[in-house]
C-alpha cells in the first residue's frame, strides 16, 4: 500500500514537471515570435512616435501616391518613376519633401532611366502628413534613414516655399 502511494506521488511529480516544462517552452516560443514580429517593419525608426508616423504614412501613401507610383513603389514603366530602391529618393531628401507639396517637372533621372512628365503637387498635405509619408518612404523598400522630425520637415518646407516664390 505504501509503495503504491509512493509510486502514485512520483507519477504526479513527473506530470507536474512535464506540464511546467511544456509551459516554459510555449512561453519562450511565444516571446521569440513576438520579438520577431515587432522589428520586421520598422528597424531604424523605433520610437512610438516614429511608429505612428510610419502607420499613418502608409495610409497616406496609399491614398495620395500609389495611383501613380503603385502600392509597392515600383512605379509604372517610363510614365511614373519607382520609389522603391530609387537612387533619387536616397540622395535627395529635401527635394522629396518639397515635391510632395509643390510637385516637380522637367527631366528627372531615376536609376539611370529618364522620366519627364510633370508630377502635380498636393498642396493640401500638412507638414505633419508630409513627415509621415517621408517616414514611410524612408523606412520601407530598403531605404534606411534615422527618425524624421516634424520640425526639420517644416524647416525644409519653408525653404522650398521661398525657392518657388523667388523663381
Size of the site for ligand HEC (CB under 6 A): 27
Among positions 130-159, residues that touch ligand HEC (CB under 6 A) are 133
Determine the Cα angle at 99 with ends 108 and 62, to 5°: 100
Q: Does 164 bind ligand HEC (CB under 6 A)?
A: no
The interface with ligand HEC within residues 70-99 (CB under 6 A) comprises 80-83, 86, 88-89, 96, 99
**For ligand HEC, which is the closer residue by CB, 11 or 114?**
114
State yes or no: residue 55 binds ligand HEC (CB under 6 A).
Answer: no
How many alpha carbons lie under 13 Å from residue 2 in its C-beta half-sphere? Answer: 0
Give me the phi and psi of 104, to 5 degrees please: -155, 145
Check if the beta carbon of residue 43 is closer than 8 Å to that of residue 140. no
Kindly report the CA angle at 163 between 162 and 164, in degrees rounded to 5? 90
Q: Which residues here bind ligand HEC, judged by CB under 6 A?
A: 64-65, 67-69, 80-83, 86, 88-89, 96, 99-100, 104-106, 108, 110, 115-117, 119-120, 122, 133
Amino acid at each position: 500500500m505504501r509503495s503504491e502511494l509512493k509510486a502514485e506521488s512520483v507519477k504526479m511529480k513527473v506530470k507536474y514537471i512535464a506540464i511546467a516544462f511544456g509551459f516554459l517552452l510555449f512561453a519562450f516560443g511565444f516571446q521569440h515570435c513576438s520579438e520577431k514580429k515587432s522589428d520586421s517593419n520598422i528597424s531604424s525608426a523605433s520610437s512610438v512616435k516614429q511608429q505612428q508616423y510610419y502607420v499613418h504614412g502608409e495610409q497616406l501613401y496609399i491614398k495620395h501616391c500609389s495611383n501613380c507610383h503603385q502600392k509597392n513603389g515600383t512605379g509604372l514603366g517610363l510614365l511614373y518613376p519607382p520609389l522603391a530602391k530609387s537612387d533619387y529618393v536616397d540622395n535627395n531628401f529635401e527635394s522629396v519633401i518639397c515635391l510632395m507639396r509643390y510637385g516637380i517637372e522637367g527631366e528627372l533621372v531615376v536609376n539611370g532611366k529618364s522620366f519627364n512628365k510633370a508630377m502635380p503637387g498636393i498642396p493640401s498635405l500638412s507638414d505633419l502628413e508630409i513627415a509621415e509619408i517621408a517616414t514611410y518612404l524612408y523606412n520601407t523598400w530598403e531605404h534606411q534613414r534615422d527618425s524624421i522630425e516634424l520640425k526639420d520637415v517644416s524647416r525644409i518646407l519653408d525653404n522650398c516655399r521661398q525657392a518657388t516664390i523667388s523663381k
